[in-house]
C-alpha cells in the first residue's frame, strides 16, 4: 500500500493508500465535486486518522489532489 504526502491546510500530511483510493474514485466518475470529495474523505478516513476539526480541510485537500491526479492544472493551495 502506498503512502503519499499532501498539503492539508498548509501542513504536509502522509496518507496511507491514497494512490489506490484515487484510482477507485476515478472509476466511480462522473460525480460532482461534492460527491467526489465526500467519497475521497470516506475512503481515506478508513485507513488514516483525521482530527474531527480538520476533516473539512482534508476534504478540500483530497479533492485538490484528485483533480491533479486527473490531469487538471490546480494550484497547490487552492481550496474547494
Which DSSP state fits 1?
-
Enter the C-alpha cell of residue 17: 493508500
Structurally, the chain folds into a number of domains equal to 1
Domain range for 58 is 3-69
Q: With bands split at pLDDT 50, 70 and 90, how would you rate the model's confidence at 64?
A: very high
Question: CB count, 10 Å around CB of 17?
Answer: 17
Q: Does the residue 75 lie in any domain?
A: no
Phi-psi region of 71 (alpha: psi -120 to 50; beta: other; left: phi over 0): left
Q: Given a cut of 80, is residue 65 above it in pLDDT?
A: yes
* SS3 of residue 61 by DSSP: helix
Q: Given a cut of 70, is residue 78 above it in pLDDT?
A: no
Q: Does the residue 80 lie in any domain?
A: no
Q: Does the residue 10 lie in any domain?
A: yes
Q: With bands split at pLDDT 50, 70 and 90, how would you rate the model's confidence at 79?
A: low
pLDDT tens-digit readout, 12-62: 999 999 999 999 999 999 999 999 999 999 999 999 999 999 999 999 999
Amino acid at each position: 500500500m502506498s503512502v503519499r504526502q499532501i498539503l492539508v491546510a498548509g501542513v504536509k500530511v502522509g496518507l496511507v493508500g491514497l494512490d489506490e483510493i484515487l484510482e477507485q474514485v476515478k472509476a466511480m466518475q462522473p460525480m460532482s465535486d461534492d460527491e467526489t470529495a465526500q467519497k475521497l474523505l470516506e475512503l481515506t478516513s478508513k485507513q488514516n486518522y483525521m482530527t474531527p476539526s480538520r476533516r473539512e480541510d482534508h476534504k478540500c485537500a483530497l479533492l485538490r489532489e484528485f483533480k491533479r491526479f486527473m490531469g487538471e492544472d490546480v494550484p497547490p493551495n487552492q481550496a474547494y
